Structure 1
Amino acid sequence: MLLSATSRSPIRAGLALLAGVLAAALLLLAAPMAYARGDGLVRQDVTFRGGGGLVLHGTVLSRDGASGPEPGIVLVGGSGSGPREEYRQEAEAFARAGITTLVYDKRTVGYSLLHRDFGLLADDALAGVRLLRSRTGVNPRQVGLWGFSEGGWVAPLAASRSTDVAFVVTIGGSGYDPLRTETWNLATHLRHQGVGGPFRRTVAGPAAQFLGSTGLFPAAGYDPLPVLEQLHRTPVLALWGDHDTQVPPQESARIFREALARAGNQHAVIGFVAGGAHNGHRTSDGFDRIGGPRFHGKELGELTPRYAQTMTSWVRAVAAGHPPASSAAPAPGQALATTPVPGHVWYAWLAPALLLLGFAAYPVSALLRRGPVLRPVRWLAGLGLLAVVTTVACSIAVFVAGNGATAPVVWGRPALWLVAQGLAVAVVVSAGVSAVALRRRRLTSSWAAWLRLAPVGLAAVGFVPWAVWWGIAA
């Protein structure tokens, strides 16, 4: 049955009204929801597009019932996966002080163990700044950045790229490149674990050079100095825990102070958090954390009141138009000095590669030619391969898995390192036995025999200085 025009009009109107209600309901469900936990703070989950258009997820925290435009701050986390929950204490401290705060989950696209792009991370941070600048209740001229650890490289880089960044706060930022910083971090923790100087020198020397030369250590040579020297107008508050064991606090503070002074920055404050660890939280010696929430099964440590008060009062002063004049607090002692890591050095990767080829040549040639195999030389080749692989793997594992890769420690050395040293002795002994056996059996009278034995012989000779350099002969 056909409906008349007059009967269809009310139906169409009703359907249109229903569609409008459903659309409004969907918009409400899709919109970020603001919520509070009864602690005087309002939290709103947000999404925004970072570098390369990647969608990032975060939370904006502000005071409940805040009136008037407030300053804003974007928290830039340290290395690793960096979920926003790791920085909840800082976010809440800023928000309670009347500073609207954005904390967001770190990207997992374009960021991995073997790949770091500080420029991309800086783009993410600037996207967060734009988000806060666009929010009602935030003073768009007073939005800054807070960077922790790796964020101590990223936040200044972002600020150097945009005049939208009103100020920069760093905690535990390093004045050195990532590879030099990491070698100091590992040496400090290995020393605390009871590992002696020889193995620590290997980690900071040939092992670090191997990683830097092969490109296996991401952003190894990133230099923060040129970026710091561009911050001539941006107020900077640079802090370190006085028990920082992950970046060298004394040396980093000096580098920050001198670089910002060369830039002509008249509002650079250098300070230290009493009783603070790398993240500025409570610690007894820098290697533990006291109190606070747990993150990935480990305590983060409580946010010390002095640390929070120093940051928030400084930001409020900058936002009020009275940025504190440049100053530098006395630096705490630093047990170990950093070790410079040379740039790309060809011998760092070529030497072990040639040794592996030399030792492998003898068994491979035996398989291909099916000629006689001298047992001592076969042992020399096999032990040489094991010694080189074990030496490199043991020292590189510390960079991958941290100082825990050295357990157990025996006589001040990782147990696996003792194995490498034993193998080195075995290589030298088997080389001598092989030389004696060759002389007795007179197998070097033909050119074919020389061609087969030359690679392993050269590898055995080259192994000795290489073993001294890598420390397994010590």
Structure 2
Amino acid sequence: MTEAVAFARQGLTVLVYDKRSAGYSLFQRSYADLAEDALGAVAVLRRQPGVDPAKVGIWGFSEGGWVAPVAAAKSRDVSFLILVGANGLQPLRQQVWAVASGLRKAGVAGSLVDLTVPKLYRVIADGGMFPEPYFDPAPVVGQVWQPVLGVWGVHDLLTPPRESPPLLAAALDAGGNRHYTFRFFPGADHAAHLTPDAGLTRLPDLAPGYAELVGSWVADVTSGRPPTSQVSGPAPVQPADTTPVPPPAWWESAGAQLAALALFLVAFGGYPVTALVRRLRRRRPGAAPMRAARVVSAGGLVTIVGAFAFLVHQVMTGGKLATPGPVVADRPLVWLALQALAAVTAVATVVTAARWRRSILERSNPVGEKIRLGLLVAGGVVFVPWALSWGLLLP
């Protein structure tokens, strides 16, 4: 670990441990448990020969910026706190901003960034698949009594670097703790490593002066000379503000989305399946196959499956600055194709609905065929507002 070596060269003893795997995954974790792990590491370090147990602190990076204050607030064994790329916002709000920032950096704009990404994470959180989504760091930070060193790279694309530090400072001030130093490093990314392209690429080198700051700051605070409310460095670059990410309304909930998907699979998938079954059984066909109905069935299925696959990909890569692929007209090429297909499906639904209405009045058409076509129309009717709500029918 680059940081551990750099800090050791400053005369510090550094303990590095692996993050737990049991109970920790993309969809499951507990900051309280992670904080207990950190305190366990503190206990181990305090027992090492040559280590002054009264001068042991915690360094927390990124997610550790939520975890480390929990540990520090719970223990008198922690004498100082160092936060790198720490976030003063709720995890869900930060993640939405990070994914949107990555997409914007890739040249993406419009409904995918402004509507689809926030909705995606709200649904994921509602389904219990996003850990600690509404964790509020302010009350915990307000209980931190130890001196705090906060470090941010000017080009942080994963934590909003302009909004987070003032929130953390306000929480510390509210708790009566004014022994903090906040420093912004130019040319640095989320981890305070150098970046040649404004945060997209992380170099192995630490920002000049970062390790030296940690060494001198720790020496001061452990010698009884804690700083008082110092904020310095160039202004961070944050092209867009974060926005609140409230829980979804009932019609946007994970349950409602699953119900809609079930309807689509039955309605869109059932249309060709019943035709295939009739052919295999060599039954007399009903009404002549409709091209528009086939478009609704195929277009709806491909749009749903494609959108699901694309959005899952964004979830899996969202913490890595999003990789949308080729961008055309401010939209990923894949998403643009899905939008075009969704529009075709919506138009075909209108045509099919008109044909179905006429078929009801025609006594010659079998009842089963009318029901089959009616189910397809029902799926298409629900598909239109669903596609609108996910930005598939918006620019």
Distance in structure 1 (CA, Å) of the matches to 2:63 and 2:121: 19
1:351, distance to aligned residue in structure 2 (A):
4.5
* Partner residue of 1:382 out of 298, 317, 322: 298
The match for 1:418 is 336
Q: Using the alignment, how far apart are the partners of 2:317 and 2:197 within structure 1?
A: 22
Residues 127-186 of structure 1: CA deviation (Å, up to 9, x unaligned): 110011112211111100001111111111111221111110001011112221121111
Between 141-150 and 265-274, the greater mean CA deviation after superposition: 265-274
The answer to whether the 8 A contact 2:180-2:228 is kept is yes
SS in 2 for 1:103: coil
1-structure distance, mates of 2:164, 2:237: 12
The DSSP-based 3-state class of the residue aligned with 2:43 is helix
For 1:169, which of 76, 82, 85 is the aligned residue?
Answer: 82
C-alpha distance in structure 2 between counterparts of 1:441 and 1:204, whole Å: 41
Does the 8 A contact of 1:207 with 1:396 survive in 2?
Answer: no
After TM superposition, the structure 1 stretch with the greater mean CA deviation from structure 2, 316-325 or 337-346, is 337-346
Contact map agreement 2:356 2:374 (CA 8 A) in 1: no
- Give ranges in structure 2 of 5+ residues lacking alignment: 279-284
SS in 1 for 2:16: strand
Higher relative contact order (CA 8 A, sep 6+): 2
Q: Does 1:312 align with 2:215?
A: yes
Per the alignment, residue 334 of structure 1 pairs with 238
Q: Identify if the C-alpha distance between structure 1 residues 200 and 94 changes in structure 2 by more than 3 Å, giving closer, same or farther.
A: same
| Counterpart secondary structure, 1:243 | coil
- Contact 2:180-2:229 at 8 Å conserved across structures: yes
Q: Any idea what the Cα deviations from partners look like across 1:393-425, whole Å, max 9, x if unmatched?
A: 323321212455411222221121122112211
Matched, 1:280 2:192: yes
Q: Give how far 1:92 is off.
A: 2.0
Q: Which amino acid aligns with 2:115?
A: T
- After superposition, the CA RMSD in angstroms is 2.6
Deviations 1:104-137 (A, max 9, x none): 2222222222222222221221111001111221
Q: Distance in 2 between matches of 1:379 and 1:259?
A: 56
Deviation, 1:450, is: 6.5
Letter aligned with residue 472 of structure 1:
L
Deviates more, 1:324-333 or 1:144-153: 324-333
Could you say which residue in structure 1 is the equivalent of 2:262? 357
Q: Which amino acid aligns with 1:468?
A: L
| Structure showing greater Rg | 1
Match of 1:152 among 39, 59, 65: 65
Q: If the length of structure 1 is used for normalisation, what is the TM-score?
A: 0.73
Q: What is aligned with 1:99?
A: 12
Aligned mates of 2:174, 2:368 — CA distance in 1: 66
How does 1:3-18 map onto structure 2 within 5 Å?
none
Q: In the aligned structure 2, how far is the partner of 1:322 from the partner of 1:426?
A: 68
Displacement of 1:248: 0.3
Q: After the TM superposition, which of the residue ranges 201-210 and 249-258 deviates more from structure 2?
A: 201-210
1:360 to 1:104, Cα distance in 2 relative to 1, 3 A: closer
8 Å Cα contact 1:438/1:444 also seen in 2: no
- Seen in structure 2, the aligned counterparts of structure 1 residues 444 and 166 have a Cα distance that, compared at 3 Å, is farther
Alpha-carbon shift at residue 444 of structure 1 (Å): 7.4
User: Contact 2:2–2:204 (CA<8 Å) still a contact in 1?
Assistant: no
**Aligned partners of 1:221, 1:444: CA distance in 2, in Å?**
56
Unpaired stretches in structure 1, ≥5 consecutive residues: 1-87, 290-298
Kindly state the Cα deviation for residue 390 of structure 1 after the two structures are TM-superposed. Answer: 2.2
| Partner Cα separation in structure 1 for residue 90 and residue 31 of structure 2 | 12
- Output aligned runs, 1:71-90, within 5 Å: 88-90=1-3
Distance, in Å, in 2 between the alignment partners of 1:143 and 1:96 is 17
More strand by share: 1
Provide TM-score, normalisation by structure 2. 0.87
CA distance in 1, matches of 2:162, 2:259: 40
Shift of residue 380, structure 1, vs aligned partner = 1.8
Sequence identity (%): 40
- Report how many aligned residue pairs link the two structures: 377
The structural deviation recorded for 1:448 is 6.5
Query: For 1:117-266, what aligned pairs fall within 5 Å after superposition?
Result: 117-231=30-144, 233-266=145-178
Alpha-carbon distance between aligned partners in 1 of 2:255 and 2:375, rounded to the nearest angstrom: 15
Q: Distance in 1 between matches of 2:117 and 2:386?
A: 16
**What do residues 432-472 of structure 1 show as CA deviations (whole Å, max 9, x unaligned)?**
22123224434677986665555433332232232222111
Pair 378,302 (structure 1): closer, same or farther in 2 beyond 3 Å: same
Given that 1:159 and 1:165 are in contact with CA atoms closer than 8 Å, whether structure 2 keeps it comes out as: yes
Secondary structure of 1:264's aligned partner = coil
After the TM superposition, which residues 48-63 of structure 1 pair with which residues of structure 2 at under 5 Å, given as runs?
Answer: none
Aligned: 1:465 with 2:381: no
Q: Deviations over 1:269-290 (max 9, x none)?
A: 222122221111112343255x
The residue aligned with 1:65 is none
